[in-house]
Amino acid sequence: MNTLNLEQGVRDNIQIWLEGNYDDATKASIHQLITSKDERELTDAFYKHLEFGTGGLRGIMGAGSNRVNKYTLGAATQGFSNYLNQLYAGQEVSVAVSYDSRNNSAYFASVVADVFSANGIKVYFFEALRPTPELSFAIRQLQCQGGVMLTASHNPKEYNGYKAYGADGGQLVFPHDEAVMREVAKVQNVDDIRFKSIDANVISIGKDIDGLYLDAIAKVSLAPEAIQRQRDLKIVYSALHGTGSQLVPPALRRFGFNNVILVEEQMKADGNFPTVVYPNPEEAEAMTLALAKGATVDADIIMATDPDADRVGLAIKDGDGTFVLLNGNQALCLLTNYVLSARQQSGKEVAYPYVMKTIVTSYMIDAIAASKGVACYNVLTGFKYIGEVMTREAGKKTFIMGGEESYGYLVGDHARDKDAVVACCMFAEMAAWYKDQGKSMYDALIALYTAYGFYKEKLISITKKGKEGAEEIRAMMDNYRNHTPEHLGGSKIVMVKDYKSSISKDMKTGSVENIDLPTSNVLQFFTEDGSIISARPSGTEPKIKFYCSVKTELQDPSAFKETAAFLDHKLSLMLRDLGI
């Protein structure tokens, strides 16, 4: 190793793993990297320890302190166990554990369950793979003090991860997330991790929770009569080789839909995701087979969920009868308008209703909610912040629904995380509701643009892998902070919000205001004409993301394509001015 050009911190971490009580296979894989002189891989695997981001612990599988493996997950679980046992000292502590279809997820889940049980914690362990939102539901249903979901959501097959949940069924937020990480940091030696299971502390769960979860979802339905009349609505659904295959089809049947057409090639759980490049319904490529099936059967609606079934992609027919993929903002705008409208029509009035979204999600949601007399709260990126507010406001205000532009939605308060199972049901119900009125979801979308303004959003993700990539992303954010452009797309920047410093600055007057949200490495630029660009390094992927939003009036639906082209051009000019 002395012949390798590695930083001292990397060398120290490697030496700890080679000399510590790690298994022979792990040590052999490290020696292989040393022998092959793979300095880049060694650096990326050992230059830091995995940390909790917006979605928990997530990374590439393999040996190393910055990799997902038995030891990093074991350390995380040991730290989490220590924290729970301290927080609930003198009480019986229980957690729920589940996993998705990814390679090694079942094995990692068993390791996590072993460590919890070895620390005297009762573990409700799902007998087979289940969706993330069902884990959130189970935590609350079983009155657990925490939970863990083994998943890397929509990341490529090389990834896996660990979502940690609190007693409210939501992912850990401040101060609990930082407290757990402090406990994890104290696990300095692999021998501090209790891997030997106490089998009596592990309880198998499955079908019983499925039934309760499906019952809770069914209660969210707002238009059972429309579904009854449109029960043969043609729904094409793909699980993208993930957990959605377990519960989305039965949930749709529970709602009353009789004609659910499955993309059979993608219904089998498979962590290699053989039919897609990237198991992410945000990517058009991942929807290819579902779109082809939809065209063949002349479907009314097409949906696909990601591996842990907390995100859903949606395709509907446009005015020419051609299927088009909606982005997360469009889908959420449609869903928000439908849910609030259907609630009003059905007379389901509640006290202090509110909806939620993230700061990088379409501001059309705010306008729709305001027109319905419903409050709209904006939170930082990450559904855990929506769950946090739901818990805080429980018993005082009524949560209706929430969502984010990254294809995550929740209708109803049965969970504290985004839920593609209930979202699939509500999108199908919305399609039935509009069809029952002789309309389409595309008609409804155009109507929203004419009523509230044509909001057009675009997400640009730039991948920067490894230690060098992380440094590049940090330099980009520093540059935007220190050299803020004066104009974007020909429009003057009038406000800059820096969520890292919690300061909102009026660029005209120079006055500043505090931002009443937790700190986060996000910058937002607001222009004179109402455009917004948000820059944010991802908390779970080696990416920096730019969320772009432009708006203009749509006077006549016939001008839709022309107006869309105008907004696309404006978006390109704004991105050019940011050097993207």
Same domain, 326 and 427: yes
96 and 154 assigned to the same domain? yes
Domain hosting 553: range is 454-577
pLDDT in tens, 161-217: 999 999 999 999 989 988 998 898 899 899 999 999 999 999 999 999 999 999 999
Q: Which of 52-66, 97-111, 565-579 has the lowest mean pLDDT?
A: 52-66
Query: What is the share, in percent, of the chain residues with pLDDT greater than 70?
Result: 98
Q: State how far the Cα of 513 lies from the Cα of 536, in Å rounded to an integer.
A: 21
Specify whether 157 is located in the same domain as 77.
yes
Within this chain, do residues 150 and 104 fall inside the same structural domain, yes or no? Answer: yes
Query: 518 and 471: one domain?
Result: yes
The verdict on residue 43 lying in a domain is: no
3-state secondary structure 102-122: CCCHHHHHHHHHHHHHHCCCE
Question: Is 153 noted as a catalytic residue in this protein?
Answer: yes
User: Is residue 534 in a domain?
Assistant: yes
Domain total in the chain: 3
Within-domain flag for 339: yes
CATH number at residue 532: 3.30.310
- Which of 211, 239, 265 lies at the terminal end of a domain, its last residue? 211
Q: What is the pLDDT of residues 58-107, one digit of tens each?
A: 999 999 999 999 999 999 999 999 999 999 999 999 999 999 999 999 99
pLDDT recorded at residue 562: 94
**Strand pairing class (235-238; 301-305):** parallel
- State the alpha helices, DSSP H only, in 221-287: 224-229, 244-255
Q: What is the overall mean pLDDT for the chain?
A: 94
User: Are residues 204 and 266 both part of a single domain?
Assistant: no
Q: Place 349 in a pLDDT band, splitting at 50, 70 and 90.
A: confident
Q: Is 498 found in the same domain as 393? A: no
What is residue 1's predicted lDDT score, i.e. its pLDDT? Answer: 65
Q: Which one from 65, 105, 136, 153 is the annotated catalytic residue?
A: 153
Any bridge partners for residue 115, and if so which?
none
Q: Which of residues 438, 471, 491 is at a domain's end?
A: 438
Asked whether residue 31 is assigned to any structural domain, the reply reads no
pLDDT band with cut points at 50, 70 and 90 for residue 540: low
Per-residue pLDDT of 358-381, as tens digits, reads 999 999 999 999 999 999 999 999
The band of 417, judged by pLDDT with boundaries at 50, 70 and 90, is: very high
| Phi–psi pair at 157, nearest 5 degrees | -65, -20
In 38-190, at which residue ranges do the beta strands (DSSP E only) sit?
57-60, 94-99, 122-126, 146-150, 159-166
**pLDDT tens per residue across span 252-280:** 999 999 999 999 999 999 999 999 999 99
Any domain includes 218: no
